[in-house]
């Protein structure tokens, strides 16, 4: 398996270089781990009577009845003309006992004319089509009936233009695979222990490799692919869980045994009851913080599920144990809002809370820095500004990071280094972008995950509808009605980085249109976007939050966190340009007050089927996890929010996080079972596992260190 690919018969230096460059294949093993991405089913022969032009590819067995040659202008030519290269098309009529069809060739006509002798029978394989009223196939593959190509599933491999141009056709790939298998299989070492194969009912590796490339039938292919998928997911989970185990053993955490006075005072003064989900999550967090292990917890909860309260109470546990806490928000606006809310909650506790952002003045900054150093500031709220080097805590015990996917890895790492006495602070990462379970298990396999899966009482469902341009007037009228009831409306424009200019133009045009439709003095429209100064932004934002403006026109800067319970309408322009999770987050901005709320998705003229599907889904459900799962199925895990910036830290060869959730669950619990019995994987029976985990593929980036 580790032999260089250049030594494989039929490859050589030059082709080896190309294989490495184009597909990253360096060894025979790499080649064999390139699995077909689909199979051509040549196991059935279709009677011509059943051939439909919408079938992808079919195979017919038919006898040639008549062959004709045509010139460019369509005139029929006698066979003598073949010599003079005047023939531009060959048409062969073929029939089985159910019907007749035409096989058409524009290239290689001389050779085909010799081959397709009337009265002879062949297997034709290709894509059926209709020309006029006649069923035909253009350039089918032609094989003799006894050539052995029938009765098999033929693998199709990914390729590139350059590979194809250098002669790596499908047939050549298959040949290389066959050579590689013949060389490797006799001495192939099994990668999974015997007991694993037995307990999980898996086929041996040699069988799986042979069948994945050259399946004898569907059932063998199914067994092979199951084995390979299971192995891939199982080893990945084993690697992640092992890391988690090692971390919980080796990394010390700050011990915080008390609930503390500040927590209790705040809790008693709460204007509402915590939901059961909030209570459960706080219990989970508390267990972590008193354990002496460093907490590394991801808190997932839909928009409006009450994560802020959890952050506040968590911060107060740290304060109650003599430490400081910081809460980091991704935007200035959000940091300000957190500050306003948290100050309110902390009032009964006497804990000093400060806000530090990019716009904090020098004087205040100095005062805050001092308070952090002498420990008089208990809770610091801020943006990136709070991880600057000049910020020093006396005893940072907890860092809460809101909307984690907006922070870069480096920034998170810097926060880590501010821990007390060289000990990492406890870390609570909060996100409103639900990550599908399968993805969370893989991305954050070594983090603990808490979920708030319950909304505070009083939240009404948001009625969501998707409309086109023809409803724009109706939409304006509807907003007027809501404003007449004393409500407010958000109107959001997409902002896509690559065409920032264009987007602002859209936003400006949109703003003009809205101002015209909602003129002063009856209506006031605020606008917020990324090119404003922080002061302009704050001014407009405040006007809307305080209810002085009826409408807020904005780019997605408002998407995270802002709380305006009085807003009852969310209009999203060019909704098809947003991801599902993002749309869901935006929608979460309304439905916070007591009134009925609406989300109106304005769709563009030309939108793809897939986009429409996403919008329909949004109209159907308000469950963020369901949406995240579906988004992953539609777009694949690599495109999901939360993974775009970092990219998936792993690459899977055969398993799919979107489709193989069941196998993943099974693989994970089985990996856990094995580690429970043998945490170090030192038992002789587990030696093959230890060997496999050393492969690059399973050395997953350690997210626990950087979150």
Minimum CB distance to ligand ADP, residue 223 (Å): 45
Side-chain-side CA neighbours of residue 611 (13 Å): 14
Does 434 help bind Mg ion (rule: CB under 5 A)?
no
Strand partners, 153: 41
CB 572 within 8 A of CB 601: yes
CB 422 within 8 A of CB 269: no
Q: Which does 301 bind (CB under 5 to 8 A by kind): ligand ADP, Mg ion, none?
A: ligand ADP
Closest CA to 418 of 472, 373, 355, 448: 373
Write out the E strands in 144-279.
153-156
Radius of gyration of the chain (CA): 32
How far is 631 from 579, CA to CA, in rounded Å?
A: 8
d(CA 387, CA 560): 20
* Partner from Mg ion, ligand ADP, none binding residue 140, C-beta < 5-8 Å depending on class: none
- For 571, the enclosing helix (H) or strand (E) is strand 567-572
Structure tokens given for 484: 């007449």
For residues 27 and 300, which CB has a smaller minimum distance to ligand ADP in the complex?
A: 300
Stretch that binds ligand ADP, among 145-153, 306-314, 515-523, 691-699 (CB under 6 A): 306-314
| The only residue of 307, 424, 537, 577 in contact with ligand ADP, by rule CB under 6 A | 307
Near ligand ADP by CB under 6 A: residue from 309, 462, 640, 654:
309
CB burial of 168-198 (b: ≥16 within 10 Å; e: otherwise) equals: beeebbbebbebbbebbeeebeebbbeebbe
The nearer residue to ligand ADP, 329 or 479, going by C-beta atoms, is 329
DSSP, res 375: T
Is there binding between residue 432 and ligand ADP (CB under 6 A)? Answer: yes
What stretch of H or E contains 490?
strand 488-492
Residue choice 128, 304, 320, 637 for contact with ligand ADP (CB under 6 A)? 304
From the CB of 280, what's the least distance to ligand ADP, in Å? 12
Q: Which among 648, 665, 651, 671 has a CA at the least distance from the CA of 237? A: 671
Residue 586 touches ligand ADP, criterion: CB under 6 A = no
561 makes contact with Mg ion (CB under 5 A): yes
Q: Does 303 bind ligand ADP (CB under 6 A)?
A: yes
Binding residue for ligand ADP, selected from 278, 357, 360, 556, defined by CB under 6 A: 278
- Determine which residue in the list 154, 211, 300, 308 makes contact with ligand ADP, applying CB under 6 A: 308
272 binds, among ligand ADP, Mg ion, none (CB under 5 to 8 A by kind): ligand ADP
Cα 501 from chain centre:
27
Nearest-approach distance from CB 560 to Mg ion, in angstroms: 7
For the chain, what percentages of helix, strand and coil (3-state, to nearest 5) are there? 45, 20, 35
Site for ligand ADP in 550-579 (CB under 6 A): 561, 563
CB 654 within 8 A of CB 230: no
> In the chain, what's the furthest Cα-to-Cα distance?
103
Q: Return the one option of Mg ion, ligand ADP, none that residue 418 interacts with (CB less than 5 to 8 A, by type).
A: none
Provide, rounded to whole angstroms, the least separation between the CB of residue 428 and Mg ion. Answer: 13
The least distance separating ligand ADP from the CB of residue 480, rounded to whole angstroms, comes to 27
Residue from 272, 486, 613, 620 binding ligand ADP (CB under 6 A): 272
Size of residue set near ligand ADP by CB under 6 A = 18
Alpha helices (H) in 546-651, listed in sequence order = 580-587, 609-620, 624-635
Binding partner of residue 278 among ligand ADP, Mg ion, none, CB cut-off 5 to 8 Å per kind: ligand ADP
Nearest CB to Mg ion, comparing residues 237 and 433: 433
Give dist(CA 322, CA 217) in Å, integer: 67
Distance in angstroms (rounded) separating the CA atoms of residues 438 and 704: 18
Q: Residue 586 CB, nearest distance to ligand ADP (Å)?
A: 12
Closest to Mg ion by CB, 237 vs 582, is 582
Least Å from the CB of residue 429 to Mg ion: 12
Contacts for 30 with CB less than 8 Å, ≥ 6 apart: 5, 24
The span of 194-202, 304-312, 573-581, 642-650 binding ligand ADP (CB under 6 A) equals: 304-312
Question: CA triplet 160, 165, 169: central angle to 5 degrees?
Answer: 75
- Decide if residue 591 touches ligand ADP (CB under 6 A): no
Query: Is 544 in contact with 526 (CB distance < 8 Å)?
Result: yes
**637 contacts Mg ion (rule: CB under 5 A):** no
Centre a 10 Å sphere on the Cβ of residue 515 and count the other Cβ atoms it contains. 16
Rounded CA-CA distance 449/299 in Å is 6
Other CB atoms within a 10 A radius of the CB of residue 122 amount to: 23
Give 145's DSSP letter. T
Counting contacts by CB under 6 A, is residue 306 touching ligand ADP? yes
Stretch that binds Mg ion, among 25-33, 554-562, 598-606, 638-646 (CB under 5 A): 554-562
* Residues of this chain, 438-467, that bind ligand ADP according to CB under 6 A: 456
Which range binds Mg ion by CB under 5 A, 16-24, 279-287, 553-561, 648-656?
A: 553-561
The residue whose Cβ lies closest to Mg ion is: 561
The whole-angstrom separation of Cα 323 and Cα 320 is 7
Of the CA atoms within 13 Å of residue 446, those in its CB half-sphere come to 24
Asked if 282 touches ligand ADP (CB under 6 A), the answer is no
Q: Could you say which of 129, 138, 246, 274 contacts ligand ADP (CB under 6 A)?
A: 274
Q: Residue 305 touches which of Mg ion, ligand ADP, none (CB < 5 to 8 A by kind)?
A: ligand ADP
The least CB distance from residue 305 to ligand ADP, in Å, is 4
Instruction: Tell me which residue has tokens 């569907």.
Output: 218
d(CA 587, CA 558): 11
**Cβ proximity to Mg ion, 11 vs 309, nearer residue:** 309
Residue 275 binding ligand ADP, by CB under 6 A: yes
- Give the shortest CB-298-to-Mg ion separation in angstroms: 14
Query: Whole-angstrom distance between the N-terminal and C-terminal Cα of the chain?
Result: 37
Of the listed pieces 152-160, 196-204, 239-247, 558-566, which binds Mg ion according to CB under 5 A?
558-566
Residue 301 found at the interface with ligand ADP (CB under 6 A) = yes
Per CB under 6 A, residues contacting ligand ADP are 272-275, 278, 301, 303-309, 432, 456, 561, 563, 592
Please report, as ranges, the residues that interact with Mg ion according to CB under 5 A.
Answer: 561
């Amino acid at each position: 398996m580790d032999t260089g690919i250049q030594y494989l018969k039929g490859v050589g230096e030059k082709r080896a270089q190309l294989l490495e460059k184009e597909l990253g294949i360096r060894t025979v093993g790499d080649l064999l781990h390139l699995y077909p991405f689909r199979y051509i089913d040549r196991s059935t022969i279709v009677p011509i009577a059943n051939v439909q032009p919408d079938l992808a590819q079919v195979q017919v067995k038919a006898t040639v009845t008549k062959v004709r040659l045509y010139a460019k202008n369509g005139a029929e030519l006698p066979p003598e003309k073949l010599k003079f290269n005047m023939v531009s098309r060959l048409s062969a009529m073929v029939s089985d006992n159910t019907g007749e069809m035409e096989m058409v060739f524009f290239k290689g006509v001389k050779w085909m004319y010799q081959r397709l002798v009337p009265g002879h029978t062949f297997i034709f394989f290709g894509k059926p089509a209709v020309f006029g009223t006649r069923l035909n196939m253009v350039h089918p593959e032609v094989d003799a009936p006894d050539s052995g190509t029938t009765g098999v599933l033929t693998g199709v491999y990914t390729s590139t233009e350059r590979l194809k141009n250098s002669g790596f056709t499908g047939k050549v790939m298959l040949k290389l695979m066959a050579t590689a298998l013949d060389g490797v299989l006799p001495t192939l070492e099994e990668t999974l222990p015997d007991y694993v194969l037995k307990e999980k009912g898996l086929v041996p590796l040699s069988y799986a490799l042979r069948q994945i490339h050259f399946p004898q039938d569907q059932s063998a292919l199914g067994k092979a692919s199951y084995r390979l998928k299971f192995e891939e997911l199982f080893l990945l989970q084993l690697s992640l869980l092992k890391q988690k185990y090692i971390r919980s053993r080796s990394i010390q955490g700050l011990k915080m045994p008390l609930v503390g006075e500040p927590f209790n005072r705040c809790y008693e003064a709460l204007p509402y009851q915590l939901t059961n989900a909030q209570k459960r999550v706080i219990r989970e967090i508390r267990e972590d913080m008193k354990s002496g292990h460093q907490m590394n917890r991801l808190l997932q909860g839909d928009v409006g599920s009450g994560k802020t309260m959890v952050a506040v109470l968590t911060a107060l546990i740290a304060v109650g144990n003599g430490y400081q806490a910081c809460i980091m928000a991704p935007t200035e606006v959000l940091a300000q809002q957190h500050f306003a809310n948290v100050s309110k909650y902390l009032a009964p506790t006497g804990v000093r809370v400060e806000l530090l952002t990019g716009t904090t003045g020098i004087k205040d900054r100095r005062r805050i820095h001092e308070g952090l150093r002498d420990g008089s500031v208990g809770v610091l709220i801020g943006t990136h500004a709070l991880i600057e080097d000049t910020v020093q805590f006396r005893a940072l015990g907890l860092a809460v990071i809101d909307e984690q996917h907006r922070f870069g890895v480096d920034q998170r790492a810097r926060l880590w280094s501010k821990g007390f006495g060289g000990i990492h602070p406890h870390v609570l990462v909060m996100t409103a972008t639900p990550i599908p379970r399968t993805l969370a298990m893989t991305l954050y396999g070594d983090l603990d995950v808490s979920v708030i899966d319950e909304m505070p009482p009083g939240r009404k469902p948001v009625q969501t509808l998707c409309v086109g341009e023809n409803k724009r007037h109706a939409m304006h009228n509807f907003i007027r009605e809501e404003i007449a009831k004393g409500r407010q409306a958000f109107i959001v424009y997409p902002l896509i980085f690559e065409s920032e200019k264009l987007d602002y133009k859209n936003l400006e045009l949109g703003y003009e249109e809205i101002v015209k439709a909602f003129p002063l003095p009856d209506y006031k429209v605020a606008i917020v976007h990324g090119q404003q100064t922080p002061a302009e932004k704050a001014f407009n934002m405040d006007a809307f939050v305080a209810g002085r403006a009826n409408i807020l026109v904005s780019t997605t800067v408002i998407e995270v966190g802002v709380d305006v319970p009085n807003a009852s309408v969310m209009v999203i322009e060019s909704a098809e340009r947003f991801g599902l999770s993002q749309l869901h987050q935006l929608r979460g901005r309304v439905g916070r007050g007591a009134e009925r709320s609406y989300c109106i998705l304005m769709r563009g003229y030309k939108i793809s089927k897939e986009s429409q599907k996403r919008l329909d889904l949004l109209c159907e459900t308000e469950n963020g996890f369901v949406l995240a799962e579906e988004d992953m199925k539609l777009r694949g895990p690599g495109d999901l929010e939360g993974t775009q910036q970092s990219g998936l830290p792993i690459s899977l060869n055969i398993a799919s996080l979107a489709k193989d959730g069941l196998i993943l669950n099974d693989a994970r619990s089985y990996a856990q079972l094995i580690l429970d019995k043998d945490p170090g994987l030192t038992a002789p029976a587990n030696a093959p596992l230890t060997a496999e985990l050393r492969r690059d593929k399973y050395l997953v980036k350690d997210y626990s260190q950087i979150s």
